[in-house]
Chains A and B, each alone.
Chain A
């Protein structure tokens, strides 16, 4: 594709303007709670991008992905809270979180290299549950994670010594904490997008796709499938670890209930609905599934009130109901996702065998 350089620059500038103006538009138009929704959406986008490497690129179905998010979050919580009296700075903890989560990714990946498809799904699911149960139980005999009580009073993330949790005045512009986090998350999400896009086009990225399409053929072509698979697990996990650390710093409280199986399923849905293996699709999926439920919560009640004169279904049941229906329908009519990559779309538009 040859797009004139000038247009690329223009596009980048436009995106930059939109992204920086977004919290103001949203915050002033709909309230800061929506900026907070955006913050969480960005975290989910990072998670979805990480899982996309494992599921979308390498084709390894992982149902326990949230474990890496949990590892990142707890690492941050333990190293930057009064729980152990440690207050490491975020710039040290976040990379460490990526590293530790990556190691856990390898730890999960190594023994499961021989497993395929559904067997891998159940093992990863079990792994995710094991991590959650350990987090929930490691408060006795030695109190490490504080168990189900969770860890509170976690240090906010500081950038150049400025805590992002406190509002900031810059050149007379008032920036609430949620805006500051938004900018940090946007930058990091862009970084992750950049890395992912570059990876996709690299030797490794192609090796992943080769494994996804036909592992034996990939092996025959001289790809070291073991290392390449492990790398997929490690990379995916490390993104999850970073997102987890950010979550802990942002929310300033972590407890095991935030890392349930349902969260893994959510992130998987983002990847699949958006378009497995296609970065823009995954970003869209993450954004949609993180923001839509909120919108539904606010829209569903009043709309029913208007139509039927009373609320027949409470918005939360309706939300999950619609969500389930959306999964079914998208799979029926757009099995490659809402925004699949061009190659995949071609593959799927072929008549079935």
Chain B
């Protein structure tokens, strides 16, 4: 849901070009009988069943699209033709299943892992990947802890809660001019984590937090907490959580006469949000990590191709998954090896123009200068307002490193 209108566009085209440029050099070995193509397996983990299955499927679609694109370029790595294969597993958003899936990937000797979707599965699984020396790029786990564990194998292509919360807090204070803010979160790892960082940044920008309330990720009735929020008369209400609660919450705000601006993170930046909120969605704000697809070279093309292939709009994280796959492929190319031990050394040096933003990693494996784009809902559509913290994309600051 979230990304729908965003776009995925970016870079598939760019990547294609970049790759084809890189591919030729290794093609020089002496002419011998061409060995059969090397099969490189990449693992992909997300909840494909359960309440978040729609997001998981979306992730999987993004991965398949990336695999197809990568193979279409007839990659050669280490002097051999390479075929990428995707091994997609369902982790049910359950930590225990997450470790089982991780073990499965290690058993299957995959060359790299894209995932998981949730922080709650990504973190316990990351330990297993780290022990096995298997590189892992998460497209959507935003809990800061993931990269704070000191694992050399853990990367992510999405701004974490600290990065996104900071941008949101500052934006609420400065651009939206909020002096008093109420915060609600759903007490999930994602919602609470984001709300906490939002609070820090907003307070640092001089905002007064007048109420802090909580609900849960299965709730439908927010009347009591919204009434309390209303009594504190905030300029803005921030909700850390997903659209399934955020939509009805916006509707109930309207019914109760809460006249505050409403701001959510990526969990509310979906096509589903205005459907659930109805006309109460009008004028509300949300954010998504990365740059709007329309602003990235090849972004709209990506969105169109996604739509053509799956006959569905992008839900939320598919573009990030696409980038995550491409980041691994890119590192393999630069290392000229598909061996995890070899190309792992190249991952930290990534400088890759993805569909969601320009991707490079800091020393922890987090995306560097993660850009965050703010959107506003206008007559049921989300319109980008501005992108904060992005490295200039139109003109890459420095050319992709080549080795």
Chain A interface residues toward B at CB < 8 A:
31-33, 36-37, 40, 136-137, 147-150, 152-153, 165-166, 177-178, 251-253, 255, 257-258, 294, 297, 314-317
Contacts and interface: CB of A to CB of B under 8 A. Distances in A.
Contacts of B187: 136-137, 147-148
Nearest to B101: A33
B50 interface: yes
A149 B124 contact: no
Interface stretch (B25-33, B102-110, B175-183): B102-110
Contacts of A31: 103-104, 107-108
Contacts of B360: none
A150 B49 contact: no
Counting from the closest, the 6 A-B pairs by CB-CB distance are: A316-B49, A253-B124, A31-B107, A33-B104, A33-B103, A148-B189
Nearest to A31: B107
Q: Is the interface of A mostly helix, strand, loop or mixed?
A: helix
Interface in B77-135: 90, 92, 94-96, 99-101, 103-104, 106-108, 119-120, 123-124, 127, 131
B192 interface: yes
Given A33-B107, A37-B100, A253 B127 contact: yes
A40 B90 contact: no
Nearest to B188: A148
B48 interface: yes
B95 A251 contact: yes
A153 B149 contact: yes
Nearest to A146: B145
B11 interface: no
A152 B188 contact: no
A314 B60 CA distance: 15
Contacts of B348: none
Interface in B194-228: 214
B384 interface: no
A33 B87 CA distance: 15
B96 to A, nearest CB: 6
Given A251-B124, A314-B49, 4 more contacts: A136-B187, A149-B193, A315-B49, A315-B90
9 contacts: A36-B99, A37-B100, A148-B187, A148-B193, A149-B189, A150-B189, A165-B131, A253-B124, A297-B90
B107 A316 contact: no
A311 B398 CA distance: 47
Contact of A178 (B103, B108, B191): B103
Contacts of A148: 187-189, 191-193
A252 B124 contact: yes
Contacts of A165: 131
B106 A251 contact: no
Interface of B: 48-50, 53, 90, 92, 94-96, 99-101, 103-104, 106-108, 119-120, 123-124, 127, 131, 143, 145, 149, 187-189, 191-193, 214
A258 B96 contact: yes
A72 to B, nearest CB: 15
A32 B103 contact: yes
B127 A149 contact: no
Contacts of B50: 316
Contacts of B53: 314, 316
Contacts of B100: 33, 36-37, 40, 294
A77 to B, nearest CB: 12
Given A136-B187, A152-B145, A316-B48, A253 B107 contact: no
B86 to A, nearest CB: 15
A316 B103 contact: no
B123 A150 contact: yes
A148 B100 CA distance: 21
B127 A317 contact: no
Contacts of A257: 94-95, 120, 189
B123 A36 contact: no
A230 B338 CA distance: 60
A311 to B, nearest CB: 11
A314 B191 CA distance: 28
Contacts of B103: 31-33, 36, 178
A152 B192 contact: no
Contacts of B106: 32
Nearest to B92: A316
Contacts of B131: 165-166, 177
A40 B96 contact: yes
B99 A251 contact: yes
A257 B191 CA distance: 14
A62 to B, nearest CB: 22
A173 B245 CA distance: 53
Nearest to A40: B96
B145 A149 contact: yes
Contacts of B119: 149
B124 A152 contact: yes
Contacts of A255: 95, 120, 189
B158 to A, nearest CB: 17
A252 B127 contact: yes
A122 B124 CA distance: 32
B20 to A, nearest CB: 36
Nearest to B191: A148
B242 to A, nearest CB: 13
A294 B48 CA distance: 15
A244 to B, nearest CB: 13
A4 to B, nearest CB: 43
A192 B192 CA distance: 39
